[in-house]
Amino acid sequence: LNGVFAVNKPVGLSSYDVVDRLKHLVFGMAPRGAKKARNRFKSKNNYKIGHGGTLDPMASGVLVIGMNKGTKVLNDYLNGPKVYVGEGMLGSMTDTYDAEGHLEQTAPYAHVTRETIERVLDQFRGTIQQIPPKYSALKVNGRPMYDYARKGEEIPRELVAREVTIYSLELEEFTTEHAYKQPRPKPTTDEDATATTTTTTTTAAMGEAFILADDDAADKCSDHVASTPAVFRIRVECSGGTYIRSLIYDIGQAVQSTAHMVSLCRVQQGCFKL
C-alpha cells in the first residue's frame, strides 16, 4: 500500500489517534496499549504512515494521511495552503486561545457588530506577523511550548512573531443565537477552587451562568454581562504555520474586545476538500 488520502477527522480525536487507528485497520497492527502485539508486528513488517499537518482534538475536518512511499510528499501538504472555517466568541479569552482552556481575561463586547468585524478584517489579509499561542507544538530548546504551559513553567524566551500569509479571509456569520458556554477560570488548588468566591450573573438570552474569576473581573464586566456574547464565523485560506486560534484572538483585540476560538474545521488541504 502506497499513496496519499484524507480522512474527515471527528472532534475528540488527536491526529495521532487517527494514525494509530489506521495502523490497526490497514496494517493489522494492535492499537496503543497492546505492547507485545505491537512489537511483534514491528519486527516482521516494515511500514510507514503519517499525517500532513496536525489538527487539535477539538478541531475536525480534512487530515491528509500518507502511507509508505506516500509519506515522502506529506511536507508538501504540511507547508502548503489550507482552508479553515473557525468560530470565535467575543468577550472572553482563555490561556489556550480556545474553548478547552481556562478563562484569563474578559472584555466588553456589546459594542461589536457585524460591521465592526468586517472593518478590521482587511488588516489581517495578505502577509502578516502572527504570534503563536503558548499552547502550541512549536519547540523552544527542544521542548514543545505546550509542555512548558501545562507544567506552569515560564517559556525560556519571548514568543516571536512569525510571518504567515492569509490568502483570503471572509466573515460568514455573526450571531448571538448559539449554545456555546463561557469558559471558566482555572482554580489554583482544590482548596482554592472550593474557597474562591465567584460572582455569577445569569444572562437573560441564554439562561446560562457567566462565571467571573473574581470581584475585579465582575467590575470590569458589569457593562456587558446583560447580553449574550456574539459568535463570529470566519473562512480562512492561509499558508502553513498559521494559527486560527491566534487569528481569532487578534480579531477580538482589533475590535477593542477579546475572543477565543470555540470551533474549527479544516475544509480543504491541497486537493482534498469536504
Query: Are 185 and 146 members of one domain?
Result: yes
| Active-site pick, 20, 56, 98, 250 | 56
In 3D space, the residue among 166, 164, 165, 160 whose CA is nearest the CA of residue 138 turns out to be 160
Query: Are 26 and 158 members of one domain?
Result: no
Query: Are 75 and 89 members of one domain?
Result: no
Query: Are 88 and 73 members of one domain?
Result: no
- Strand-pair partners of 166: 126, 238
Rg over alpha carbons for the chain, rounded to the nearest Å, is: 21
Query: Are 74 and 86 members of one domain?
Result: no
The C-alpha atoms of residue 104 and residue 185 are separated, in whole angstroms, by 7
The domain total for the chain is: 2
Active site residue 56: yes
The C-alpha atoms of residue 10 and residue 120 are separated, in whole angstroms, by 32
In 3D space, the residue among 100, 63, 109 whose CA is nearest the CA of residue 263 turns out to be 100
pLDDT per residue over 153-208, tens digit each? 666 556 778 999 999 999 999 999 999 999 999 877 654 545 444 433 333 333 33
Query: In this model, does residue 222 exceed pLDDT 90?
Result: no
CA distances from 175 to 1, 146, 179, 231 (A): 46, 32, 11, 6
Average the pLDDT over each of 106-115, 125-134, 185-194, 230-239 and give the range with the smallest value.
Answer: 185-194
Which grid cell sits at 140?
A: 523552544
**Which domain CATH number covers 63?**
3.30.2350.10
- Which pLDDT band holds residue 254 (cuts at 50, 70, 90)? very high
pLDDT at 209: 31
pLDDT at 40: 43
Query: Are 115 and 192 members of one domain?
Result: yes
The distance from CA 172 to its chain's CA centroid, rounded to whole angstroms, is 18
Q: Which of 45, 60, 79 is the last residue of a domain?
A: 79
Query: Are 50 and 160 members of one domain?
Result: no
Query: Are 158 and 46 members of one domain?
Result: no
pLDDT at 95: 87
The C-alpha atoms of residue 39 and residue 18 are separated, in whole angstroms, by 20
**Higher-confidence residue: 80 or 169?**
169
Query: Are 55 and 134 members of one domain?
Result: no
Give pTM, 2 decimals. 0.79
Q: Which of 62, 79, 96 is the last residue of a domain?
A: 79
Q: Which of 33, 55, 79 is the last residue of a domain?
A: 79
Range of the domain at 59: 3-79
Query: Are 68 and 106 members of one domain?
Result: no
Query: Are 51 and 144 members of one domain?
Result: no
